[in-house]
Structure 1
Amino acid sequence: MSLWNYLQGRQGTIAFLSYQHASLAFQTVLVGSVIAIALALLVYRLPLGSALTITASRIALTIPTLALLALLIIPFGLGVVPSFIMLAFFATMPVIGNAIVGLRSVPPNVIEAAQGIGFSRWRILLTVELPLAWPVILTGIRVSTQMIVGVAAIVAYVLGPGLGSLIFNGLARLGGANALEMALTGTVLIVLIALIFDALLVLLGRLTIPRGIQ
């Protein structure tokens, strides 16, 4: 009942914070995915380059988010810019490995068949390799999205946008009025945003993955 009372009169603020959180997660995952796929296209035909890139992406995920944020504050200050850069950086990492694995897993005989009927290198990439690799790439994007929706709460430490402010303000005031309700509201809404994004990505997969390879 106290949670319901806390929500009364705060719907506008909570909706705005939810929009900020979802928007920041969407934009950073989009940018990160584009960068990841571009990098994968550069190295996937090079065995050593692919291995090094995948290894580097896995190591990068071990960097503490707060440490990276602290470093970004020095040149960019507080607010949206360091928050966006940090989240886009981490959003890139899960997608890179999946994109490389997906592109490298395209059967050579399929590529040879496309070459045999006169497809150009770019046409093979766009109409054969990327569509066949897309299910694996999309899996990486789903993993990245779930991670970023959660990690985005951390940007509240540098005055970034989103629901993290509710969580950390609530935790900082534990024992005070509405402290638990604030933290619980932020947490539940982040989980809901993650579920909605995942459902949308599942729908995207059904719409974009060729029926024969679903």
Structure 2
Amino acid sequence: MRRGRLIGLAVALALFLALALQPGLFTPLLSLLVEPGTPLVYTRQSLIALAVWHIAVVASAEAVAVIVAVALGILVTREKGAEFMTLARMTSNLGQTFPPIAVLAMTVPLVGFGFQPTFIALAAYGLLPVFENTVAGLRGVPATTLEAARGMGMSKRAILMQVELPLAAPVILAGIRISTIINIGTATIGSTVGAKGLGEVIIAGLQAGNAAYVLQGAMLVALMAVCFDLAFRSLERRAFA
């Protein structure tokens, strides 16, 4: 299973790099989608540069989402913080309650166009999977294990850092994986407010009625999501097997 996953990752990564660095290799396929004479390869921006921007906004937003969501998950699973569960769940659910495009519409007047509104929308959208998995992971730690840790004289902080979080880590990492994959697809809408990313290719295709551009952008985003999904799954098995 692990070998098959690594082979799948290598194939997906190779296809992604080929499409980003040498899109001309795919012109026979793209030519089937448009009328003769229609541009086939998006050349306004470097595809690999757009992919790097796409990853950058997702990674930065995901980092904030993970920090906030894990902190909230720890808080509400403590005895003194349990009363904040409803508030924490409402906070982490904000991104799912409001569509990302609505968050963009609300944040653009405040922070302007480009990276910032996309970052805010993705950070909010990525909270819920990480928060819920953090809570589930921490609550899933066996009570007998916690009792044994207390019996050894470990402090609450030591129990959290050395027992609870390591045992909950596989579930938390699964939440981070889900959140990241969701945001890789969601980040495409950032191009509607001037953020650089692969959504720029898709939107350019939609505006020009060019299905070849749309397919290029969609394939790159899909392959990126597959690469990250397989990489996270391999990390989960390698780290927690």
Does the alignment reach a TM-score above 0.5? yes
Instruction: Tell me how far 1:136 sits from its aligned partner.
Output: 1.2
Q: Does 1:117 align with 2:148?
A: no
Q: Residues 51 and 132 (structure 1 numbering): CA distance in 2 closer, same or farther, change over 3 Å? A: farther
For 1:205, the aligned partner's letter is E
Partner of 2:222: 191
Q: Does 1:74 align with 2:101?
A: no
Q: Which moved more, 1:188-197 or 1:27-36?
A: 27-36
- TM-score relative to the length of structure 2: 0.78
State how 1:1-214 maps to structure 2 within 5 Å.
1=28, 3=30, 6-7=40-41, 10=43, 13-45=46-78, 46-54=81-89, 56-58=91-93, 60-174=95-209, 179-209=210-240, 211=241
CA distance in 2, matches of 1:126, 1:2: 52
Q: Which runs of 4+ in 1 moved over 4 A?
A: none
Percent of residue pairs bearing the same amino acid type: 36
Q: Residues 60 and 78 (structure 1 numbering): CA distance in 2 closer, same or farther, change over 3 Å? A: closer
For 2:223, the aligned partner's letter is L
CA distance in 2, matches of 1:67, 1:55: 17
For 2:68, the aligned partner's letter is I
Q: Structure 2: which 5+ runs fail to align?
A: 1-27, 32-38
- TM-score relative to the length of structure 1: 0.88
How many residues are aligned here? 205
Q: Structure 1: which 5+ runs fail to align?
A: none
Secondary structure of the residue that 2:46 maps to in structure 1? Answer: helix
Cα distance per residue 1:156-191 (max 9 Å; x no partner)? 1100110011101101111xxxx1111110000000
Cα distance per residue 1:129-151 (max 9 Å; x no partner)? 00111111111111101110000
Secondary structure of the residue that 2:40 maps to in structure 1? Answer: helix
CA distance in 1, matches of 2:114, 2:150: 50
Q: Residues 78 and 7 (structure 1 numbering): CA distance in 2 closer, same or farther, change over 3 Å? A: same
Secondary structure of the residue that 2:97 maps to in structure 1? Answer: coil
